[in-house]
Structure 1
């Protein structure tokens, strides 16, 4: 049996709990894994079609609003079991703010701080959402473990943001006393 990709495996994992439409799977993905794994609406429908073609899911009748409910097959369970038994690859941080900060010497510090403040708000909202979901007790131990990681991750990012002024040091000033907004040249 050919291997499946992580997005397909995610959908098969969700379908283990029962049938669902593509719309429902998008919502579940956003709620359960959206904080650390991107699954777009177009990916969900593309993967469902491919999974159906491979016999890993079956499509039911078209229901209200042209929604089709999908059910995992025995072959789908087997493909998921093979995927989950394969060690996961190493993570790669893809954090746009971090990339901007890597080149932060090329923009005004106040603008950079605005970017950080915007991201801080997003991370604070995620932290509260993870804490709220943990507080409901409605998840299984594996989901709680994932949520606990999310809480610690968000706390670490917020703490790092708090430390940024000390890490970056004082704002350099120009000869007129204003902040240095000019890009810094590398080398000599």
Structure 2
């Protein structure tokens, strides 16, 4: 067991390694696909955590392969540390939405600049919702092969993006006013 409790980044990597050995690069890609929309993970964080977890005996490094890539696999100690982390109550979430900070101080921006930011972010959220809707539409209606935990996460993403788009659409007009380009 590690000297300190696992952080969420390390725990997520151990969780992914339950699916089989992966290289650091594979883990970065897999994390981006699976949790990238709600949990940020950088390549440097992944490699830093892999080094620390290997030193703590939570993972084992395999033989280097093509392009010097090294696969990692979870150990029994890693499975135990992950189980302990998963059994702890999750920390309270906190909203860290940079656009909200910009909106709060929007009166300090030149006319129309906030509207540009809002339009860009609204489009990004609409695109993310469309992506989630595509994933949801591709799921079989009734199947034993559908992971209910992934579906629950997907449903949160759908609800979240719909709520954010509703918020954009309800903003006071002066916030979303297009810049006067004449």
TM-score, normalization: structure 2?
A: 0.88
Please show how residues 1-188 of structure 1 align to structure 2 within 5 Å: 1=1, 2-137=4-139, 139-165=146-172
Cα separation, 1, equivalents of 2:104 and 2:49: 35
Going from structure 1 to structure 2, the CA distance change for 1:42 and 1:154 (only over 3 Å counts) comes to same
Cα separation, 1, equivalents of 2:37 and 2:176: 33
Q: Post-superposition shift, 1:133?
A: 1.9
Larger Rg: 1
Unaligned runs of 5+ in 2: 140-144
- Provide the aligned C-alpha RMSD in A: 1.8
Cα separation, 2, equivalents of 1:98 and 1:46: 31
Q: Deviations over 1:53-97 (max 9, x none)?
A: 100000000000111111000000000000000001111111111
Unaligned runs of 5+ in 1: 172-178, 180-188
Contact preservation (8 Å) 2:115, 2:175:
no
Cα separation, 2, equivalents of 1:125 and 1:155: 11
Aligned pair count reads: 171
- Secondary structure (helix, strand or coil) at the match of 2:150 reads helix
TM-score, normalization: structure 1?
A: 0.86
Q: Deviations over 1:16-44 (max 9, x none)?
A: 11111111100111011001100100000
Residue of structure 2 in register with 1:174 after alignment: none
